[in-house]
Amino acid sequence: MKTRSRFLATALLTCCAAAYAAGGGGAGGADASEASSADPVIVSAKAAIAKKDWVAAQAGLKQALSANSKNADYHNLYAYSMRKGGNADMALVFQHYDEALRLDPKHRGAHEYSGEAYLAMNDLPKAKLHLAALDKLCFFGCEEYTDLKKAVAEYETSHKR
C-alpha cells in the first residue's frame, strides 16, 4: 500500500511539474514560453531589453507587429519597451497591453506589466485586478504573480497617508 501511495504521489508531482513547465511557469522576463523563446523577433527584443536598448526593442517589435498584429507576445513586449523607454504615450502602452490580453487572456506577462503600468499611473484598483487575474492563472504560483504582488505591496507602503 505504501508503494502504491508513493507511486501516486510521484506521478501527481511529475504531472504537475510538467504542466507547470509547459505553461512557462517560472520563466524569466516577459512571458517566455517554449514557442516564443524560439521566435527570432522575441529573442532579438529580449536581447535589446536586457541591454536597456529600448529604441532597438521598439523598432524590431513595431516592424514585427506590422507583419503580424495577432501576436500577443509582440504587443506585450512592445508596450513594455515603450513604458520602460521613458516619456511613453501611456494610452498607446495600454492599447498594446489590452491587445495582448484580447489575443491571449491568460498572458501572464501582459497581466504583470499592465498591472505595473497601472501602478505607475497611480491606479491601484486596476493593478489589483491584474494581480487577481494572475492569482487565478498561477495555480501553483508564478514569477509574474510574485513580481506584481511585490510591486503592489511596495506601492501601498509608499502611498500610505
Copy the grid coordinates of residue 116.
505595473
pLDDT at residue 87, rounded to an integer: 86
Average pLDDT over residues 89-94: 97
> Could you tell me the pTM of the whole model?
0.78
Task: Give the pLDDT band of residue 35 (cuts 50, 70, 90).
Answer: low
159 DSSP 8-state letter: T
The percent of residues in the chain predicted with pLDDT above 90, rounded, is 71
Phi first, then psi, for residue 96 (nearest 5°) are -75, -40
pLDDT at residue 21, rounded to an integer: 36
Query: In the predicted model, is pLDDT for residue 27 greater than 70?
Result: no
**Tens-place pLDDT, residues 130-152:** 999 999 999 888 999 999 999 99
Copy the grid coordinates of residue 53.
536598448
Q: CATH for 26-158?
A: 1.25.40.10
> So where are the chain's domains?
26-158
Average pLDDT over residues 29-36: 48
